[in-house]
C-alpha cells in the first residue's frame, strides 16, 4: 500500500505545500521525514519478485516521493527502473512487444489495467518534470493501452505464450477474467497522446467514450476522476 496510498497522499501534500494553506515549515519537514522513513523503505528495492503491477506502483510512488522531497537521486533511480529495471514493471518487460501484449495479459484484465495505469501515472509525473517517458520505445505505453482497450471492448488481439522475468508466471492464452471491466486509467493516456501529441489512440478513445466520466478509483489504486483532471484544454 505504500506506493498507492503514499502516491495519493504525497500528491495532495504537494498541492497543500505550495498553496496558501498555512502549512508550517516544521510540519512539512515532519512529513518529508515520514515519506523517507516510512513510505520509501517499503519500495526502495522495487518488487522484481512479483507481477509487474507491483514494480509499476513502486515506480510511480518513488517518483512522487522524490518530487515532494526534491530528491534528484531518488527520482533518477525510479526513472532508470522504468527504462532498465530488472523486474516485470520495466516498460519493455511489462508491455512485452510492439503489439502491446502485457506481462499480465494472460493473468486477468484487472491487474493488466492496474499495471498500465501505474506506468501512465509515472509518465505524467515525469512529464511535469520535463521528461517524455510516454514516448519511450516508440510509444510502447500507448501500444499497451490500445491492445488492452481493444481486447476489453470485445475485439480479438494476437497473443503469444509468455514466461515472466521471475519464471513463476507462465501464460498460455489470453485471460478473459475481468474482460470489459474498465479501470479509470484511460483519460490520462488519451489526454497525452491525442491532445498533446495529436495522435489517434483509437481504442483508448473508444473506452473513454464508453465509460466517461471516469469516477472514483476502484479500491483507490489510482487517483481516479480522470475526466475532471485531464479533459480541460
- 82-133 pLDDT, tens digit each: 999 999 999 999 999 999 999 999 999 999 999 999 999 999 999 999 999 9
Full domain range(s) for residue 124 = 2-143+161-183
- 137-164 pLDDT, tens digit each: 999 999 999 999 999 999 999 999 999 9
Residue 9 forms part of a structural domain? yes
Task: Count how many domains the chain has.
Answer: 1
Residue 37 forms part of a structural domain? yes
Cite the DSSP H helix spans in 129-211.
Answer: 136-152, 187-190, 202-211
pLDDT of residue 232: 84
pLDDT of residue 1: 65
pLDDT of residue 204: 98
Q: How far is CA 136 from CA 68, 88, 157, 218, 221, in A?
A: 24, 16, 23, 28, 24
Residue 123 forms part of a structural domain? yes
Name the band, by pLDDT with cuts 50, 70 and 90, for residue 217.
Answer: confident
> Is 167 within 8 Å of 195 (Cβ atoms)?
no
Residue 210 forms part of a structural domain? no
pLDDT of residue 211: 96
pLDDT of residue 216 exceeding 90, the answer is: no
Amino acid at each position: 500500500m505504500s506506493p498507492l496510498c503514499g502516491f495519493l497522499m504525497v500528491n495532495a501534500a504537494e498541492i497543500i505545500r505550495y498553496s496558501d494553506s498555512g502549512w508550517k515549515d516544521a510540519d512539512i519537514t515532519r512529513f518529508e521525514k515520514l515519506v523517507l522513513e516510512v513510505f520509501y523503505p517499503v519500495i526502495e528495492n522495487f518488487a522484481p519478485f512479483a507481477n509487474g503491477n507491483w514494480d509499476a506502483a513502486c515506480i510511480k510512488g518513488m517518483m512522487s516521493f522524490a518530487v515532494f522531497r526534491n530528491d534528484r537521486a531518488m527520482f533518477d533511480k525510479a526513472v532508470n527502473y522504468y527504462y532498465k529495471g530488472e523486474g516485470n514493471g520495466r516498460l519493455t518487460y511489462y508491455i512485452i512487444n510492439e503489439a502491446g501484449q502485457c506481462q499480465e495479459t494472460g493473468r486477468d484484465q484487472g491487474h493488466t489495467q492496474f499495471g498500465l495505469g501505474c506506468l501512465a501515472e509515472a509518465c505524467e509525473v515525469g512529464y511535469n518534470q520535463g521528461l517524455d517517458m510516454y514516448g519511450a520505445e516508440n510509444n510502447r505505453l500507448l501500444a499497451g493501452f490500445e491492445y488492452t482497450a481493444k481486447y476489453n471492448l470485445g475485439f480479438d488481439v494476437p497473443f503469444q505464450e509468455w514466461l515472466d522475468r521471475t519464471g513463476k508466471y507462465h501464460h498460455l492464452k489470453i485471460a478473459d477474467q475481468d474482460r470489459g471491466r474498465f479501470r479509470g486509467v484511460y483519460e490520462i493516456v488519451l489526454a497525452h497522446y491525442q491532445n498533446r501529441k495529436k495522435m489517434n489512440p483509437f481504442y483508448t478513445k473508444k473506452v473513454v467514450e464508453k465509460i466517461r466520466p471516469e469516477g472514483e478509483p476502484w479500491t483507490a489504486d489510482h487517483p481516479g476522476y480522470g475526466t475532471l483532471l485531464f479533459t480541460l484544454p
